[in-house]
Amino acid sequence: NVVGAALHMDERTPHLHIAVVPIVTAERKKKAREATAKKRYRTKAANRPRLCADDIMERGKMSRYQDIYAEAMAKYGLERGIRGSEARHIGQHEYYRDCMVKKKGLEEDIGNLSIEKRKLDKEKKSLESKVESLECRTTALDTRKKMLTQVNAEIRQQNNELYSENTRLTEANSSLAAENKSLEATSSKLSDDVARLQMWKLNSEADGDLKKYKADIARYFPDLEDLLNWGRYCTHIGFPDRFTQRILAQEKVGFAGALFSSEHNQTFRTEGSVAKLERDPENKHRFILNIDGVSVFQWFRDMARKLLEKLGFRPKEPTQSHGIRR
């Protein structure tokens, strides 16, 4: 029955305007009354389609339409409006009354601004008088400036004399700086020697700590080495970190997108697959990454074969790749 629907975003709450043809097949409510009337009406089928806005636009059904629409849109995050809300639109008379109140307030503001303008005009005349006074003071300042210029020339001459004295002192300081530079070079060499000794000591301690750290990992976390290798491999073929972390936790991870195969130098897309890291039955501290129930390497080969078959080629089976196994 829906002829058209338009989304309106011009109010605080988004809403739809829907055009509906009120076609119904229910029995007419007036049928019983017509049976008692003197004038006889031609008999019509009870379920015959007809137009009746009263049946479709009834208050209870309108509320039900909102419920059904909210249920259908719930998966998109849409929430139903408040049931039985008493919210109302501002009436036309109330709107114009508010406009008249605002107009009156604006007229008062205009009157106040006119008074303020007259005050500003008076202040402007006062400022113009002050400007004339300042111009007179400027003339006096120019005279004082000429006098200060003459004093500045005398100070410049004294400054030249001080500059000559400073040059003599600078030459004496250069001699002292050369001696200080020689002492700094000797001190720098000693500092370098001390730093090299400290670095050698730290490197020796670090090498010992690293060996002990690797031994502890092999002893207490025998799975870690292979898990690190699979983590790097997952990142290499294109899994994001959040998926890689779940895969290394041996969870089933559903994904869709593209993965890169170094064996085929090709990116393969999937609309929906499941990846899971499982223990190697032949070595309890080794793992195998399966996608859709087969090893990731076989999965890449199957995807490559399907791609070639789609292009009309009959591919040869690629040589066995050991992946990240060593």
| 96 CB-contact burial (10 Å; exposed 0-12 / middle 13-18 / buried 19+) | exposed
| pTM > 0.85 | no
pLDDT of residue 124: 92
pLDDT of residue 84: 78
Q: What is the dihedral of CA 213, 214, 216, 220, to 10 degrees?
A: 130
- Cα 326 from Cα 324, distance rounded (Å): 6
pLDDT of residue 33: 60
Phi, psi for 166 (deg, rounded to 5): -65, -35
Phi, psi for 228 (deg, rounded to 5): -65, -40
Q: Which residues of the chain have pLDDT under 70?
A: 29-46, 89, 206, 314-326
pLDDT of residue 204: 72
* Every domain of the chain and the residues it spans: 1-27+47-81, 110-220, 224-310
pLDDT of residue 326: 38
Q: How would you write 153-212 as a 3-class SS string?
A: HHHHHHHHHHHHHHHHHHHHHHHHHHHHHHHHHHHHHHHHHHHHHHHHHHHHHHHHHHHH
Q: Name residue 8's beta-bridge partners.
A: 15
